[in-house]
Structure 1
Amino acid sequence: MVYIISFDFMQRAFAAGIITALLASVMGVFIVLRRMSLVGDSLSHAALAGVAGGMLFGIYPFYGALIFSGAAAVLIEIIRSAFKKYSEVALAVVMSGGMGLAVVLISLGKSFNADLMSYLFGSLVAVSREDIIIISILGFFIIGSVILLYRELFSITFDDEAAAVLGIPVKWINFYFTLLTALVIALSVRVVGALLISALMVIPAAVGLQLATSFKSTFVIAIAVALFSVITGIYTSFIFDLAPGGTIVLIASSILMIAICLKGVLSRWMQKNF
């Protein structure tokens, strides 16, 4: 593995992948616990539309993904406010609308279909030095925001009504959290791909929920699974010339299946012997 690190593009891929894994797993724990797993899919479709729009209009696709996913986050909160008892409507509308827009933009720009593949499923060589700088700066901002708002997010995650009674601005925290999620989605399209980033947010968190004994340990396990999946996935995809996004997700999915099976085996063993 040592010789792989000697390549500049692999150094950038690993750096971007590690930051992406950290951000996706941290946000993923809150998303799964709040039963908002589909928010990642909704925002990723919007990010894909942003990538296609950027390519079509001559804007750096990475910026297009940031703009479109941020706009989608705002739209989700607006629709959720209009359908308070049916908040999942917002996710379905944005998901279908984002995909529809992406398909139209892709059909208009037929010449960039080959380049678009790197944004759909991730690419090792697509990560530039500029991408690393943007991912690092925004990643630091996102983690800092989560740390500062940790207690508020914790309260809203488990009981938003009680949080409102305590004086926490639930509406604005939810809005800000959705914007942060949109940023994570946009930052991750280079390594994992727009169609697969949602899985990297949800699966490590699911493993954490299976194995953890506390809220904080859920974060530790989710981060560890995401880091292992990304690092191993990038290495494997380089060796066997595979799409990094799909490889990363398959590794994470395998870990989840192992966790579920081991937990079941241990539970049955304890019931039998104790």
Structure 2
Amino acid sequence: MNITDMLSYGFMQRALLGGSLIAILCSVLGVFLVLRRLSLIGDGLAHVTFGSVAIALLFRLQSVYNTLAIIPIVMGCSMGILKLAQRARIFGDAAIGIVSALGIATGVMLASVAGGFNVDLFSYLFGNILSISTSELGIAAALFVVVIAGVATFYNDLFASTFDEELAKSSGIDTDRINTVLVLMTALTVVLAMKVVGIMLISALLILPAATALQLARGFKTAIVSAAAFGVITVITGITVSFVLNLPTGATIVITNFALFACAFGARTLLRRG
């Protein structure tokens, strides 16, 4: 099967478009999260998403309504992580761990009540971008616009807070508001990424393109653009390879991302030695 034949399928067109949009969001936000040492927030929110999915499945909601129901829950929990870190006098990774444990425990409990782990829940755990519907693609496109607009609007403040939060605060930047914006945008992105690589692999899609870009880029804007490009390339490559070879799509995307990161790391090492 050649590329033209593959692109003739509607589900492949939706998968490639939706996957590309979500890859850009994960990659752009990933640069901020990696530099701020908050990359594990994706993993924590993924576990919260597991609990939210279990709630949606318990009430037998359709797929598109699952996404709409999950979004406010995950956004609320992202705020919980932030408030715990600010007010409970614990480090960010501990706050992520607390909310993550609560999310996964709630998910297991509700999945048991709903009748156990079924095929639907399995697809949420490991992703199924090839099954993305037109409605879900519309939601992804709308949230893509929201998140990119948020990054563009608060770019200068996000940049300042990323490199020196205390200096940003003393310069008059409302860092609490910026942190809130960042975690809420991350929550939206995590919900979307669930369809691409699944709950278990979301953190990889947030971390690897950003980490790859940071190996090669010499400026912050260059890192963001490079991360977005790497994210799109690896998602398109992963979807294509998984379709042709009949492999799990989410896992193929993550392995492709890691292969690109390994190449970038090797190139950087060689350049330093040279």
**TM-score past 0.5 threshold:** yes
- Of the three residues 14, 17, 22, the one matched with 2:16 is 14
Q: Secondary structure at the match of 2:256?
A: helix
Could you tell which deviates more after superposition, 99-108 or 151-160?
99-108
Q: CA RMSD in A?
A: 1.3
| Aligned match of 1:223 | 228
Q: Percent same amino acid among aligned pairs?
A: 38
What's the CA shift for 1:99?
1.2
Separation in 1, partners of 2:90, 2:167: 18
Is 1:194 the counterpart of 2:199? The answer is yes
Q: How does 1:101-140 map to 2 (within 5 A)?
A: 101-110=106-115, 113-140=118-145
Aligned length: 269
| Alignment equivalent of 1:69, drawn from 41, 65, 74 | 74
Consecutive unaligned residues in structure 2, runs of 5 or more:
none
Matched ranges for 1:34-73 at <5 A: 34-59=36-61, 60-73=65-78
- Cα distance, 1:85 vs. partner? 5.4
* Larger deviation, residues 109-118 vs 226-235: 109-118
Is it true that 1:141 corresponds to 2:183 in the alignment? no
Q: Cα offset for 1:58?
A: 2.4
**SS where residue 131 of structure 2 aligns?**
coil
The CA distance in 1 between the partners of 2:72 and 2:5, in whole Å, is 37
1:87 Cα offset (Å): 2.5
Kindly indicate whether the alpha-carbon contact (under 8 Å) linking 1:118 and 1:126 is maintained by their aligned counterparts in 2: no
Residue 112 of structure 1: how far off its partner (Å): 5.8
Q: Is the 8 A contact 1:205 1:219 kept in 2?
A: yes
Task: Evaluate the alpha carbon distance shift between residue 54 and residue 183 of structure 1 in structure 2; reply closer, same or farther with a 3 A threshold.
Answer: same
Between stretches 210-219 and 149-158, larger displacement belongs to 210-219
| TM-superposition CA deviations, 1:134-193 (whole Å, max 9, x none) | 110111010001001000000100111111111111111101210110000001111221
Contact 1:24 1:201 (8 Å CA) reproduced: yes
Q: Is the 8 A contact 1:4 1:10 kept in 2?
A: yes
Return 5+ residue gaps in structure 1 as ranges: none
1:61 Cα deviation (Å)?
Answer: 2.2
- Amino acid in structure 2 at the alignment position of 1:47: T
- The partner residue of 2:166 within 142, 156, 161 is 161
What TM-score do you get using the length of structure 2 for normalisation? 0.94
User: Is the Cα–Cα contact under 8 Å of residues 209 and 257 in structure 2 kept in the other structure?
Assistant: yes
Asked if 2 retains the 8 angstrom alpha-carbon contact of 1:52 and 1:61, the reply is no
Give the AA of the match of 1:189. M
Deviation at 1:44, TM superposition (A): 0.8
Distance 2:73 2:248 in 1: 24
For the pair 1:88 / 2:93, whether they are aligned, the reply is yes
Contact 2:84–2:90 under 8 Å retained in 1 = no
Deviation (angstroms), 1:200: 0.7
Structure 2 residue aligned with 1:170? 175
Please say which of residues 57-66 and 249-258 is displaced more in the overlay.
57-66
Aligned equivalents of 1:124, 1:144: Cα separation in 2: 24
Q: What SS is found at the alignment partner of 1:195? A: helix
